[in-house]
């Protein structure tokens, strides 16, 4: 895979103009959802060529599906896109995931640029080259590794982001803190995402992206250490899938936060993660994200979702666990009984 360039920008139109100058293309397609078309496109439209082609899709993770993907493919084809065309994805994680996958597969792959507009997309979805869609009720079941040529980060977008989406993105930053070092983890626990200091948040975003970028550079196709980025996601994706199935969808970051609670407990059980750090992290998550209600009747369904996780290499469920903050243990497996115990802990602690 080619190395992507991640640029933290203070003047987005200028940075985007320079990025476009470095990309040879015959036609520019701009993908937005209905929200970013209205709120974000005007901030970059002045530096786009007059002939740019706009494609707008419905917002929300429920539309990150095959039907929407086919619509984008049709638009690219009907408007005479070629292998030399360029795609600009302007939006949150749903837009960058689906747009990146559309670009990775149209004409066997065209170049694309991501401009993430949510905190979650900035620190997670837009960087690292993972693209995809939800399928058959499972998160990101279909996808490809295909990095953007550029990822342009402008934290000014965050000033207009609602509280829930700030908190959602912050969960991925908390994950990055847990897999990096105690100093950064403590710094994140002392920040209040409900009343964000945007200058401080900009610095935290830069650090968070650097953590992910460093890991992805070592292992772009997730054969080893990149699995650290899955911490909290095995249980988190199960919560997210169950919530969607029950008609009470939750934002991805909330599900990851709840998944972190589960997987820190499993880390205590299996790899000796310190109990005091477990308590501090669980308390922060409880105060910031509330809880996801379920009872023991849903354990089997949650377990079934976990067995479908892409990281599994056998009948057992694969987890990334921590022996301490920054002490990562990949390819840890757990069986049904341990997972049920983990879910018991979650319900008692939250």
Q: What is the pLDDT of residues 223-273, one digit of tens each?
A: 999 999 999 999 999 999 999 899 999 999 999 999 999 999 999 999 999
Same domain assignment for residues 116 and 174: no
Average pLDDT over residues 294-306: 96
pLDDT band at residue 322 under the 50/70/90 scheme: very high
Please check whether residue 291 lies inside any domain of the structure.
yes
pLDDT of residue 1: 52
Q: What is the CATH number of the domain that holds 297?
A: 1.20.1090.10
Same domain assignment for residues 185 and 318: yes
Same domain assignment for residues 187 and 108: no
Is the Cβ–Cβ distance between 227 and 24 less than 8 Å? no
Domain extent, residue 259, equals 167-196+219-349
Same domain assignment for residues 154 and 223: no
Using the 8-state DSSP alphabet, how is residue 3 labeled? P
Q: How many domains does the chain have?
A: 2
Same domain assignment for residues 185 and 139: no
Kindly state the helix (H) or strand (E) to which residue 36 belongs, with its residue range. Answer: helix 34-39
pTM of the model: 0.91
Residue ending a domain, choose from 160, 180, 205:
160
Please check whether residue 203 lies inside any domain of the structure.
no
Record the tokens describing residue 159, joined without a space: 């000033």
Q: Which residue has the higher pLDDT, 314 or 303?
A: 303
Please check whether residue 88 lies inside any domain of the structure.
yes
Average pLDDT over residues 81-86: 98
Q: What share of the chain is helix, strand, coil (3-state, %, to 5)?
A: 55, 15, 25
Same domain assignment for residues 280 and 143: no
Q: What pLDDT digit, counting tens, does each position of 17-49 carry?
A: 999 999 999 999 999 999 999 999 998 988 898
Indicate left, alpha or beta for 218 from its phi (over 0: left) and psi (-120 to 50: alpha): alpha
Average pLDDT over the chain, rounded to an integer: 94
Nearest-angstrom CA–CA distance, 282 and 30: 40
């Amino acid at each position: 895979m080619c190395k992507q360039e991640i640029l933290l920008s203070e003047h987005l139109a200028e940075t985007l103009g320079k990025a476009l100058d470095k990309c040879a293309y015959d036609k520019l397609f701009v993908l937005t959802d209905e929200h970013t078309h209205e709120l974000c496109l005007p901030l970059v439209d002045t530096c786009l060529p007059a002939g740019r082609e706009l494609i707008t899709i419905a917002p929300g993770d429920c539309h990150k599906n095959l039907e929407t993907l086919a619509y984008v493919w049709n638009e690219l084809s009907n408007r005479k896109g070629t292998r030399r065309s360029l795609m600009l994805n302007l939006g949150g994680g749903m837009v960058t995931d689906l747009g990146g996958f559309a670009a990775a597969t149209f004409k066997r792959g065209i170049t694309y640029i991501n401009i993430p507009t949510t905190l979650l997309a900035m620190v997670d979805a837009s960087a690292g080259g993972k693209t995809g869609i939800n399928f058959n009720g499972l998160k990101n079941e279909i996808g490809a590794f295909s990095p953007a040529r550029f990822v342009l980060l402008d934290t000014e977008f965050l000033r207009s982001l609602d509280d829930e989406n700030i908190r959602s993105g912050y969960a991925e930053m908390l994950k990055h803190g847990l897999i990096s070092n105690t100093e950064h983890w403590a710094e994140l626990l002392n920040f209040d995402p409900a009343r964000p200091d945007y200058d401080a948040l900009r610095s935290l975003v830069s650090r968070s992206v650097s953590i992910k970028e460093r890991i992805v550079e070592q292992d772009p196709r997730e054969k080893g250490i990149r699995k650290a980025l899955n911490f909290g996601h095995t249980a988190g994706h199960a919560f997210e899938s169950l919530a969607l199935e029950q008609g009470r969808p939750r934002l991805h970051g909330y599900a990851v936060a709840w998944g972190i609670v589960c997987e820190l407990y499993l880390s205590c059980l299996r790899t000796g993660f310190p109990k005091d750090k477990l308590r501090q992290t669980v308390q922060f998550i409880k105060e910031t994200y509330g809880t996801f209600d379920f009872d023991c009747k849903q354990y089997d369904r949650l377990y079934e979702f976990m067995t479908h996780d892409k990281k599994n290499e056998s009948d057992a469920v694969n987890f990334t666990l921590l022996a301490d903050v920054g002490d990562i243990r990949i390819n840890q497996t757990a069986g049904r009984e341990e997972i049920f115990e983990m879910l018991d802990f979650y319900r008692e602690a939250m």
